[in-house]
Structure 1
């Protein structure tokens, strides 16, 4: 499933505040002020009519992308506490998301604020969130940012239960990095092969196979895949991308008829799983991919032993950033940095880059157990002031960014060097990068600067090392995204972001589909090659029990309705 994608955007800011600084997301992406027209955090606090009593709210975040923290223990969070008197104690997910949410619902005792990722429908149906409609009306900055999307944010009962994580503000700025899907490969593999311009999966796996054969004594892993919990989509989505479609989740949408079709039983999925089966038989695929959790997966990516993998940039950023940090400190480590490749079955047009979209089925809400909803909403409204969006994304002028005589934001080489992963945690870039109400990653500020530092051309070019410039030059581009085809506009995008009611036929289809694929994909990949077709037939039989035709019909109707609404 496509979940996280949004983390589309979800990570753009992480990978690009972190990436611009040191190299998602998660979610992953990136805070006093920026220009003479934007007051500093301390000035904002001083301007308050009177000091507010300090209060701490509990915040559960349904992803495991950082250590737990009090936001006031970070530079950004302390500035926001000075402005509002509010601190949040963030608890990140440990273990299974569904089990955690189920426990909350059973006890009817919730944290003040919940950002449950893929579990949001479950909590809405359980009545865990309060209606935010009236509070939004009293929040000028929330109305400014989310105003164009308020109707889309309404549930079936007409109420608004959560704020989606990001909304496009200002002009759309293209992403020079890759925060979405890509086939990643270590640079040393490309360098040894003479920087070939590969476009197909067969070419990609052949490169890996040849490299392993030449380095038998290095204990290398050719390919791994992420399958843990809801992140299983990092493995199951691949056929859709190889077919030349973007991350619409469970369906591919024909651009002429706008018919939505699933791909789980197509020749493309069979071909993908058979490729993994072949790699496994050759000892090139990590069998533990089907049992490793997310942390173990990231640890393997950062171990320097894994040559290739498919994943979304925001989701793999934590591990890749560690390798980038190491290469900045020691250029000889650049061989282990991953390079993104856009692949399709036939080498034709890819659609791995996201088109503009608005994800409606992910967000942050105030629970019915919250002690002071007005105070929480006031914090969010204050957070959405432009000077605070600059603070959470760019940081502090003179410390983490500068402004030239034309008003353009940039970072010096010294600033880029110091903004590594430990700095992101202590300063707060990591904690405020994505999981709050905010401008979308592709947004612009009122003065024309990019909201996300990594999207600012001056920052992107400055952060490139000599090794970065060399490999980009080898491929005839100045940014990583230039390697990929421009995305086609899709009024419904992303299809996976279309809300579904708990217990509805389409929601039941997705749950059952997950059960079937998680049961059979490991069997298919790890089977003896001679047994693959037999297991595939068993899989088709199990999948045939699902009402796939009804699911596709529902999705087609939703997509055509979105197209009509956009006219």
Structure 2
């Protein structure tokens, strides 16, 4: 009964979201309260947002000024996953939607407007942005139309990593700047530092903290397993680049080896015992205190904690990304070049009364003018022109204020909109992304980071990782971005497998090492019962289909 009540509450909350998401019309007044019939409000639902965005920060206001468009933005409430299915059930859609993994369901429901004709007729900025990569926006071999504009940058270069294993700067300093490339070396560094400093600022030193109590299990527990194994980021899959064969990754022997290590770490007290029960606020609070030595998380997920550490003068307690793998036989894929993989993105609903306006807005967002505004902000406020070059004037503020992006709008409207990428330059040869050169990236580093890097004879953190050319480009992009047809059983099987493995692996990690083999074996048997081999077969067919669609096969 309790489960049913929770589900009903979730549906009601999602319905409330839809009520906000689906309204649109002409704005009757501008921000000053004066009447204006020139501003069109477009409703926009983003499956990625977790906080409200009233679209009234300086960059948002400037976007409205230049385009005549104001966005009415909504998002799932409390991590609810029923918002898009409810839209489909009701037939009531916002003008624009970033449906993420549910885009296939939207396409099957004929809820999205094909964009091919509009791109051809008046998508000059879009055509210039994507060029011959437009083919990678096509839906499938059976339905090769374009229903969205991709999220990923078209031209990228590796200037930062995210999601990899990270140690506090002070750990590296105190241990004499050791080379740390394997799990064993990572583990030993934690043990040596904790023995030397059992407390930090009066608090017990914590080796490594994870967040396994909500969806972040995926990015702090599941994904690091693949990174440690030397696999590229294909979500829940291990994919053979040459054949396109896909296997559910929790069946893989190298993945098993990682969790065996994590189980030992937990048993030895090197993993925070609250890793699978704590909430996000508690996790961030712990990292912000400075007594957690290591994480395996996405940069954006811990950015508020890093900002708090810097604001508190604890720069040595911030984190250094490291190319840690199972052994020296694997290579870290954190600097892997996936090519343009924008197979999720923003779509225009088939029922919108403002299709033309929405498309014109998205085409403008693909322009050089928009890219500079969204990435750099307002001239005179966020940057100035010196010797003909843009120079950011608020980098320190950006690195210490966790609300910087939402408050100023700088960077807030890059994802999931069309984006040139951090490897792109404008018509004057300047970077589109304001930290997209070695010098600009280093400007954003603290003095402590620069000191650590100097001791490793490196300029950037990415210098510690394999060169992207050494790793090669992924011909299939990333498997988790492939749209799964609604008619396929793959989504259902994978969801059941994901729900099961999240709990099973958590139990394996916190159990006695003596029980590891038997529990891992039992998990494999259960995956077979869940028909995981059928899912492997279908995902393999989808990857191979993408290779054919993209002309890689």
Q: TM-score range by the shorter chain?
A: 0.7 to 0.9
Between the aligned partners of 2:357 and 2:88, the Cα distance in structure 1 is: 24
Between the aligned partners of 2:215 and 2:352, the Cα distance in structure 1 is: 27
Structure 1 equivalent of residue 108 of structure 2: 125
Matched, 1:265 2:251: yes
Structure 2 equivalent of residue 220 of structure 1: 205
* Alignment equivalent of 1:105, drawn from 88, 102, 106: 88
* Alignment equivalent of 1:182, drawn from 151, 164, 167: 164
Task: Please give the root-mean-square deviation of Cα atoms over the aligned residues, in Å.
Answer: 2.8
Matches within 5 A, 1:9-158: 53-64=38-49, 67-71=51-55, 73-137=56-120, 138-156=122-140, 157-158=143-144
Residue 506 of structure 1, CA deviation: 3.4
Distance 1:95 1:121, change over 3 A: farther
Distance 1:269 1:534, change over 3 A: same
Between the aligned partners of 2:288 and 2:91, the Cα distance in structure 1 is: 40
Tell me, yes or no, if the aligned pair for 1:245 and 1:352 is still in contact at 8 Å.
no
Q: Deviations over 1:422-477 (max 9, x none)?
A: 44322201421312222223322233222211112332232333212101011110
* Alignment equivalent of 2:357, drawn from 364, 369, 375: 375
Tell me, yes or no, if the aligned pair for 1:181 and 1:311 is still in contact at 8 Å.
yes
Tell me, yes or no, if the aligned pair for 1:223 and 1:285 is still in contact at 8 Å.
yes
Tell me, yes or no, if the aligned pair for 1:175 and 1:455 is still in contact at 8 Å.
no
Tell me, yes or no, if the aligned pair for 2:53 and 2:406 is still in contact at 8 Å.
no
Matched, 1:515 2:494: no
Distance 1:147 1:290, change over 3 A: same
Tell me, yes or no, if the aligned pair for 2:101 and 2:481 is still in contact at 8 Å.
no
Tell me, yes or no, if the aligned pair for 1:70 and 1:87 is still in contact at 8 Å.
no
Residue 118 of structure 1, CA deviation: 3.1
Between the aligned partners of 2:545 and 2:110, the Cα distance in structure 1 is: 28
Tell me, yes or no, if the aligned pair for 2:494 and 2:532 is still in contact at 8 Å.
no
Between the aligned partners of 1:296 and 1:91, the Cα distance in structure 2 is: 26
Residue 336 of structure 1, CA deviation: 1.3
* Alignment equivalent of 2:418, drawn from 425, 430, 437: 437
Distance 1:101 1:212, change over 3 A: farther
Matched, 1:535 2:519: yes
Structure 2 equivalent of residue 238 of structure 1: 224
* Alignment equivalent of 2:459, drawn from 469, 474, 478: 478
Residue 75 of structure 1, CA deviation: 1.0
Distance 1:167 1:136, change over 3 A: farther
Matched, 1:309 2:289: no
Matched, 1:342 2:328: no
Structure 2 equivalent of residue 285 of structure 1: 271
Question: Which segment is superposed worse, 416-425 or 490-499?
Answer: 416-425
Between the aligned partners of 2:291 and 2:366, the Cα distance in structure 1 is: 42
Distance 1:555 1:502, change over 3 A: same
Matched, 1:201 2:183: yes
Tell me, yes or no, if the aligned pair for 1:401 and 1:415 is still in contact at 8 Å.
yes
Matches within 5 A, 1:408-557: 408-411=389-392, 414-419=393-398, 420-487=401-468, 488-557=472-541
Tell me, yes or no, if the aligned pair for 1:243 and 1:268 is still in contact at 8 Å.
yes
Structure 1 length-normalised TM:
0.81
Between the aligned partners of 1:74 and 1:200, the Cα distance in structure 2 is: 44
Between the aligned partners of 1:558 and 1:108, the Cα distance in structure 2 is: 28
| 2:498 partner SS | helix
Between the aligned partners of 2:466 and 2:280, the Cα distance in structure 1 is: 29
Instruction: Return the structure number with greater relative CO, CA threshold 8 A, min gap 6.
Output: 1
Residue 210 of structure 1, CA deviation: 3.1
Residue 93 of structure 1, CA deviation: 3.1
The gaps in structure 2 that reach 5 residues or longer are 1-35
Question: Which segment is superposed worse, 76-85 or 510-519?
Answer: 510-519
Tell me, yes or no, if the aligned pair for 2:325 and 2:332 is still in contact at 8 Å.
yes
Tell me, yes or no, if the aligned pair for 1:360 and 1:499 is still in contact at 8 Å.
no
The gaps in structure 1 that reach 5 residues or longer are 1-50
Between the aligned partners of 1:481 and 1:551, the Cα distance in structure 2 is: 35
Tell me, yes or no, if the aligned pair for 1:239 and 1:263 is still in contact at 8 Å.
no
Between the aligned partners of 1:211 and 1:503, the Cα distance in structure 2 is: 53
Structure 1 equivalent of residue 377 of structure 2: 395
Between the aligned partners of 2:224 and 2:308, the Cα distance in structure 1 is: 25
Q: Deviations over 1:3-42 (max 9, x none)?
A: xxxxxxxxxxxxxxxxxxxxxxxxxxxxxxxxxxxxxxxx
Distance 1:58 1:312, change over 3 A: same
Question: Which segment is superposed worse, 504-513 or 453-462?
Answer: 504-513
Between the aligned partners of 2:77 and 2:286, the Cα distance in structure 1 is: 19
Structure 2 equivalent of residue 4 of structure 1: none
| 1:58 partner SS | strand
